[in-house]
Amino acid sequence: MKQNLTLILMNEAVREGWREWMEKVRKVLPQTDAERPVTWIAAERLAQENGRMVRLVELLREHRPVLSYRVKEEAGLLILVAYHRHGSSSDFLLETAEAYFRERDCGGFLFLCRMQASINAYDEYPHLNVLCNRLEGLLFRFRRERASEYRKGIPPMFSGADLQEVEKYLPHLRGCSFREEIALALPKVKNVEELARECAMSVNTLGRRFKEELNTTPHRWLTEQRKAHVTSLLADTDMPLQEIADVCGFATPSYLWDFCKKHLKATPAEIREIARCARTV
């Protein structure tokens, strides 16, 4: 059973002669609500004691190198450390982020995202930009590795709803991130259901994201992407129709022919002829 961390820190403070400051910390931690930044003001003030904070972080590394956001006092200590403008505290937070990601602790990762965004909302704590960058880097790693994990049957660390929440707190992931995500998924999918799985979200969530960010539906978007791909291969290459059908996800050339007639208003041969004539003009 883990020894009480606050008691360990208090004993060290008594032994080393900084009991008064640690007593204030001990009283503040239970009042620091991780969900209510308005309760963090006392922690912000205590974090200004640089010498005490440096020693506190050293003790945390020794006794509890990865704090749990689920334990109220430990979440409070993470908030206290985040307010401390010092390299040792920044490093501790970076290591915490890496540990949460390695352990697939989605809740802990989301807590760090919310915490740094709340504290540094007005760029008063620029040292937290390093944490923000690390969190963004880990999210990009998740996106790169997600397809291979899915093929291995490993459930994703983040759901579609989780990723939406993360984007609120990591500004560089906003805007283009959803477009990048679906563009990366496009070569691997043939329908809306596969696109939703590749993006680790439900079909309903995927539809909502398309409506909010692209003002279209997943089905229309996939159709437009396929139209562009088919047209490019027919117009710009001599690839056989069977090969184009395979590359574009059609079971047979006849399905490709039907698609072209319905959506491009011409047969594959006609599209090629139109492109050839355009090049000779």
Mean pLDDT of the 145-150 span: 67
Write the pLDDT tens digit of every residue in 110-134: 999 999 999 998 889 988 989 998 9
Tell me the mean pLDDT in the region 150-166: 77
Q: Delineate the domains of the chain, giving CATH numbers in brackets.
A: 216-281 (1.10.10.60)
Higher pLDDT, residue 187 or 94: 94
Which residues 6+ apart lie within 8 Å of 121 measured at CB?
none
For 198-231, the pLDDT digits (tens) are 877 889 989 998 998 889 999 999 999 899 889 9
pLDDT at 281 exceeding the cut of 90: no
Banded model confidence at residue 277, pLDDT cuts 50, 70, 90: confident
